[in-house]
Amino acid sequence: MKKILVTGAFGQIGSELVPALQKKFGDDQVVAMGHERIGQNFKGIIEKADIRDKESILSIVKKYDVGEIYHLVSLLSVGGEKDPKVTWEINVGGLKNILELGVEFGLKIFWPSSIAAFGPTTPRNNTPQETILEPTTMYGVTKVTGENLCRYFNIKYGLDVRSVRYPGIISWKTPPSAGTTEYTVAMLYDGVQGKGNTCWLGPDTMLPMMYVNDAIKATVDLMDTPVLKIKLRGSYNLAAVSFTAKQWEEAIGKHIPDLKVSYKPDERQKIADSWPKTIDDSKARADWGWEHEYDLEKMTKEMVDNLQRKLTSKAV
């Protein structure tokens, strides 16, 4: 069996996807590639490489006889604005390297796009699959470019590349980053730790969100789908649940009554205001049977329970 390579293996998605793939295929079948962030106490195959260095990725593909790549490396919305040049090099240049290797070695590729591909000219309610893509962040620009690259490589070379537009992903395993939708994780961590939380988005800001377990399920399901059922080669809309920052506070408050949140929108509010409120993902549901499992209540309970156990075990 050819091995699976996961780039960005120790980020928010990768840290959940790698164990899922290991469980399905075996620890010795998954190569976890990181760069600056390498997981501690990780059991499995680890490789360290810079996604901009095509030769180093090539050597990994050859060394492990890789057949599939889940390409997750990316600089996100807030970080991308700090250094647009590097963001382009990593997000677009890195993807181009992966796609070219995909053609050379006949690989099957997964690459995630994002709701950041949308912009203020996109319909914000029930955002359709085919719509205007005019993002206002470099991260979003790289996602639109990436979608077009994936489509081009499929049309030009017949490359089997598959993609979804992730909504905001919520996970308890990794601490919050400074990303726009990460207010959810920051509020959760502060609540469980008994700290006051300052939310960087306004209370009425509604965004499409998804529990990481659903994101992993969607990713694996899409890659398992027979090729003839994949009708879109840019990126599928993907949705689960939409809620406001205030609704998220209230959902956590059912489990942590002492939660205290103050709202002080910063520069991330402008980014959030350019993204959809709700998503039409009917194409994904029709083409490959996508169904989400977690609603707001179920997601919140599982996250609070798991994070409380995690932080309690660390304190012992």
Helix 183-192 with 245-253: angle, nearest 10 deg: 20
Identity (one letter) of the amino acid at 264? K
Per DSSP, helices labelled H in 38-76 are 54-63
From residue 92, how far is each of 51, 71, 123, 197, 238 by CA, in Å?
10, 12, 26, 35, 22
Is 236 a residue of the active site? no
242 bridge partner residues: 208
Q: What domains lie within the chain, and their CATH numbers?
A: 3-167+211-237 (3.40.50.720), 170-208+241-278+293-313 (3.90.25)
pLDDT tens over the chain, length 316 residues: 899 999 999 999 999 999 999 999 999 999 999 987 776 788 999 999 999 999 999 999 999 999 999 999 998 888 888 999 999 999 999 999 999 999 999 999 999 999 999 999 999 999 999 999 999 999 999 999 999 999 999 999 999 999 999 999 999 988 898 899 999 999 999 999 999 999 999 999 999 999 999 999 999 999 999 999 999 999 999 999 999 999 999 999 999 999 999 999 999 999 999 999 999 999 999 999 999 999 999 999 999 999 999 988 766 4
SS3 percent helix, strand, coil of the chain, rounded to 5, is 45, 15, 35
Q: Of these residues, 64, 139, 211, 263, which one is catalytic?
A: 139
Identity (one letter) of the amino acid at 306? N
Identity (one letter) of the amino acid at 95? L
